Amino acid sequence: MKVSLPRLSLLLLAGIALGALIVPWISPFDYYTPDWDHTSQGPQWQGGHLLGTDELGRDLLVRLMWGCRISLLVALAASFISLVIGVLWGVVAGYRGGRVDAVMMRVVDVLYSVPFTPFVVVLTVLFGRDLVLLFIAIGAVSWLDIARVVRAQTLGLKAREFITAAEVAGLPAVTIMRRHIVPNLIGVTLVCLTLTIPAIITTEAFLSYIGLGAQSPLTSLGVMLADGAAQMRARPLLLVLPATLLIALVYACNRLGDALRDRHAG
């Protein structure tokens, strides 16, 4: 098998996902119970704390993997939400056209102009800090891009003859959208999605870093970055490890997205 950057990226992603899934499961430690006898330990093979512990004596490896779990979970859930809304919105706007299209896309424009961070702050003030809220907040923002791309693509498809052929065959508009337009959007939406996921991962990390995301004792890569930054002089490992993981995740996703886009374009 040829070694290529996209392949390595896929491998890296799979590795991180697998680790995030398995490590907390087989490890004797959990992510929330403090162990006051072993606080702030370095990496060691005896005692089982492979990467050491944090200042509360919690196993670093398990917490890192839990962080990945949360980050990936938020990314998948939020991108799924944005995918569903974005595709529906874009297809209806593009296919219906005219006034419907104008109104729907102006809604997108207006939402686009809402500053994101204050929006999330207001949400957390109103509804409290919650992981589900994080899904909704990120999903609510990232569907806008997908809707725009999908609409543009739908406009192109609508001019294609097989759509006219379907109309001439008397198929109702809903069937045409569902059977003839959406399947033809798979390529472009997939590409869009692989580029949305890393954006969501960084957004989640950012929100958690400033304290609006996952709440202690639950962790995410952003939370761990914030904790690590607090003691980066004494124990740089606490900052370097989550940062490396975050960069690896985002880089792998982006590479994969680029590769998909190239293949789709070619």
Partner 1 sequence: MRVEPLLAVKDLSLRRADGAPVLRDLRFEVGRGEILGVVGQSGSGKSQLLLSLLGLAMRGATLSGSAKFGAQELVGASEGALRRLRGTQIAMLFQDPLLSWNPYLRIGIQLAEVLRMRGIDAAAARTRACRALADVDLAEPERVLRQYPHELSGGMRQRAMLAMATLSTPALLLADEPTTALDPTTQRRVLQRMRVLREQGMSIVLVTHDLGVVAAVADRVLVLEHGVIVEQGEAARLLRAPAGEYTRTLLNAARELEGLSCLS
Residue 128 vs 183, nearer CB to partner 1:
183
Q: How far is the CB of 152 from partner 1 (least distance, A)?
A: 17
C-beta separation of 220 from 204 below 8 A: yes
d(CA 211, CA 124): 10
Phi, psi of 53 (to 5 degrees): -130, 165
Which residues bind to partner 1, rule: CB under 8 A? 97, 160-162, 164-172, 175, 179-180, 183-184, 186
Residue 103 vs 173, nearer CB to partner 1:
173
Q: How far is the CB of 232 from partner 1 (least distance, A)?
A: 52
Q: How far is the CB of 148 from partner 1 (least distance, A)?
A: 21
Residue 184 vs 231, nearer CB to partner 1:
184
Q: How far is the CB of 191 from partner 1 (least distance, A)?
A: 16
Residue 105 vs 131, nearer CB to partner 1:
105
Q: 204 is written with which tokens?
A: 């989640």
Closest CA to 220 of 103, 78, 117, 101: 78
